[in-house]
Amino acid sequence: MVMTERIERVTFEALGPMSLDEIIDVRAPEEYAIDHITGALNLPVLQDEERVRVGTLHRQLGPFDARKTGAGLVSANISRHFETHFHAKEKSYRPVIYCWRGGQRSRSLATVLGEVGWRPVVLEGGYKAYRRHVIETIGTAPSFRWVVLNGLTGAGKTLVLRAIAARGGQVLDLEGLANHKGSLFGGDLENPQPSQKRFESRIRDVMVTFERERVVFVEAESPKIGHVNIPAPLWHTMRDAPVTEIDASVEARAAYLCGDYASWIGDPERILETLQRLAPFHGAARIEQWTALCREQRWRPLIESLLTEHYDKRYGAAGSGHYHAPQRTYALESHDDAVIGACAEWLLASSEDIRQ
């Protein structure tokens, strides 16, 4: 930690032990939306269109004209933040500030805060340093002990993961972090998927809580969940991990999916549109059969047919796909809380001894 121009700088790794009031991301809203340090507040010193304007001036007229214009824009934005966010802060207030590289945008706000009498800290290297930390953290995946829960679509793997987490087990819920159930019907209209970088930051946030001496449970996934990719170090580690199969009858799976996909069932037109995306894999007669079931709102027969004729034939759990054959299987009679809970407790009690 060094002092430069009366501004204290600190590395991301050193932030943990420090007593800081909040994290401020001064980048433009578009940059912040793509990814940011979890918990950071966005107080941009340049708005999206202003950042573009300054960058254009830098390319066309040079750095002096860009800085001259940028200084006025930055000053106006900081003034607004003082009238709102900083107005009620106490004298002891101490934030950490970051921008893209920990350069001019961070210094601009930190300098003004320092002149007031606060003691701001600038993140050395800015977001880029944090991003390196995210990549490095995910790269430690092979050092953990993983157990992959595999099984046919609708078997209840996600329910079991959540029950394990509720009982104190270590869980990486990739579908939850990706806001996607991992199938053509898996999108959530109310909660859109994060960007790739934001997805990776969410993974990082969970992984830093893991203890290496304890097993981590994760659901078997394809390398892509919706439009985000599982980072390569984690994906390869999952593929090499021991597998436990969660099994359930097609009737039980269909009953569970009817509830889990309730938002889809309330939007038949969305289902009809999605069914057309299965046309490359099935004949016209099969697509027409599913279309008719959808129009008649016969959801259980539709889901059972989709399971047996599409998903079960493409996403098996017997080691023929991306993952190893399961070392053991747990059969769920239903997806009731008590049944799911018993499965979770069995996994927690027995997985410490599973062959790695």
The ranges of the chain annotated as CATH 3.40.250.10 are 2-135
pLDDT of 178 > 60? The answer is: yes
pLDDT band for 2, please (50, 70, 90 cuts). Answer: very low
pLDDT of 207 > 60? The answer is: yes
Q: What is the mean pLDDT of residues 147-164?
A: 96
Q: What is the mean pLDDT of residues 72-77?
A: 96
pLDDT of residue 352: 75
Q: What is the mean pLDDT of residues 244-260?
A: 94
pLDDT of 208 > 60? The answer is: yes
Which one-letter amino acid corresponds to residue 27? Answer: R
Sign of torsion over alpha carbons 165, 169, 174, 178: positive
pLDDT of 158 > 50? The answer is: yes
pTM comes to: 0.92
What percentage of the chain exceeds 90 in pLDDT?
Answer: 82
- For 6-64, the pLDDT digits (tens) are 689 999 999 988 889 999 999 999 999 999 999 999 999 999 999 999 999 989 999 89
Is 343 labeled as catalytic in the residue annotation? no
Q: d(Cα 304, Cα 355) in Å, to the nearest integer?
A: 35
pLDDT of residue 5: 53
What is the pLDDT of the chain when averaged over all its residues? 92
Please count the other Cβ atoms lying within 10 Å of the Cβ belonging to residue 307: 20
Helices (runs of H) and strands (runs of E) counted in the chain: 16, 13
- For 277-292, the pLDDT digits (tens) are 999 999 999 999 999 9
Q: What is the mean pLDDT of residues 175-183?
A: 89
pLDDT of residue 7: 86
Strand order in the sheet with 328-331: 170-172, 215-219, 145-150, 243-247, 328-331
pLDDT of residue 1: 38
pLDDT band for 320, please (50, 70, 90 cuts). Answer: low
Tokens of 93: 């207030």
Cα–Cα distances (Å) from 208 to 94, 128, 136, 172, 314, in that order, read: 25, 19, 11, 11, 34
- Determine which one of 99, 258, 294, 343 is catalytic: 99
Report which of residues 259 and 138 the model is more confident about.
138
pLDDT of 3 > 50? The answer is: no
CB 281 within 8 A of CB 310: yes
pLDDT of 191 > 70? The answer is: yes
DSSP per position, 67-103? HHHHHHHHHHHHHHHHHTTSTT--TT--EEEE-SSSS
Pick the CATH number of 143-353 from 2.60.40, 1.10.1220, 3.40.50, 3.30.70: 3.40.50
Q: Which of 25-39, 69-83, 126-140, 261-275 has the lowest mean pLDDT?
A: 261-275
The ranges of the chain annotated as CATH 3.40.50 are 143-353
pLDDT of 356 > 70? The answer is: no
Scanning the structure block, which residue is given the tokens 């580690």? 237
Report which of residues 3 and 141 the model is more confident about.
141
Q: What is the mean pLDDT of residues 85-99?
A: 96
pLDDT of 149 > 70? The answer is: yes
CB 23 within 8 A of CB 40: yes
pLDDT of residue 16: 84
Q: What is the mean pLDDT of residues 303-323?
A: 83
pLDDT band for 355, please (50, 70, 90 cuts). Answer: low
CATH topology of domain 2-135: Oxidized Rhodanese; domain 1 (3.40.250)
